[in-house]
Amino acid sequence: MPKRKVAVAVSGGVDSSAAALLLKEAAYEVLGIHMRLWESPRLDYQAHRAENICRILGIPYHQVDLQREFESHVVDYFCQEYQQGRTPNPCVACNQHIKFGLLLDKALSLGADYLATGHYAKVEHSRDGHRLLKAADTGRDQSYFLYTLTQEKLGHVLFPLGEHSRDEVKQMAKQAGLPTATKSSQDICFISQKNYGAFLSQRFSTLPGDVIDTQGKKLGQHRGIAFYTIGQRHGLGLASGKPLYVIRIEPEHNRIVLGPEKELSSQKLTAQKLSWISGKAPREPITARAKIRYKSKEAEAILFPRDDSMDVHFTQPQKAVTPGQAIVFYNVDEVLGGGIIDSVEIGA
197 lies in some domain: no
Q: Which of 147, 111, 157, 152 is nearest to 330 (CA)?
A: 147
pLDDT digits over 79-132, tens only?
999 989 999 999 999 999 999 999 999 999 999 999 999 999 999 988 889 999
Domain CATH number, residue 247: 2.30.30.280
Contact between residue 19 and residue 116 where contact means Cβ atoms under 8 Å apart:
yes
pLDDT digits over 134-188, tens only?
999 999 999 999 999 999 999 999 999 999 999 999 999 999 998 754 544 445 7
Backbone angles phi, psi at 194, to 5 degrees: 55, 30
**Over residues 318-336, mean pLDDT:** 97
SS3 94: helix
Amino acid at 266: S
pLDDT digits over 2-59, tens only?
579 999 999 999 999 999 999 999 999 999 999 999 888 778 888 999 999 999 999 9
Give the total number of structural domains in the chain: 3
Which pLDDT band, with edges at 50, 70 and 90, does 1 fall under?
very low
pLDDT for res 334: 98
Q: Which of 252, 206, 259, 204 is nearest to 236 (CA)?
A: 259
Domain boundary among 239, 259, 279: 259
Amino acid at 120: Y
Domain range enclosing 325: 264-346
111 lies in some domain: yes
Is-catalytic flag, 189?
yes
Angstrom distance (rounded) from CA 84 to CA 249? 9
pLDDT for res 187: 57
Domain CATH number, residue 312: 2.40.30.10
194 lies in some domain: no
Q: Are both 232 and 277 inside the same structural domain?
A: no
Domain boundary among 189, 223, 241: 189
200 lies in some domain: no
Angstrom distance (rounded) from CA 23 to CA 2? 15
* CA atoms 148, 154, 158, 161: torsion sign: positive
Amino acid at 21: L
140 lies in some domain: yes
**Over residues 219-228, mean pLDDT:** 90
Judged on CB neighbours under 10 Å (0-12, 13-18, 19+), 10 is buried
Beta carbons within 10 angstroms of residue 165's beta carbon: 16
Strand 129-134 relative to strand 121-126, pairing? antiparallel
Q: Are both 298 and 222 inside the same structural domain?
A: no
Is-catalytic flag, 79?
no
Q: Which of 123, 80, 82 is nearest to 100 (CA)?
A: 123
pTM of the model: 0.93
pLDDT for res 289: 98
- Catalytic-labelled residue, pool 54, 79, 91, 94: 94
Amino acid at 229: T
* CA atoms 13, 15, 17, 18: torsion sign: positive
Summary count for the chain: helices (H), strands (E): 9, 17
Say how many CA atoms lie within 13 Å of 1 toward its Cβ.
Answer: 4
66 lies in some domain: yes
Contact between residue 343 and residue 308 where contact means Cβ atoms under 8 Å apart:
no
Which residues are 8's β-sheet partners?
32, 116
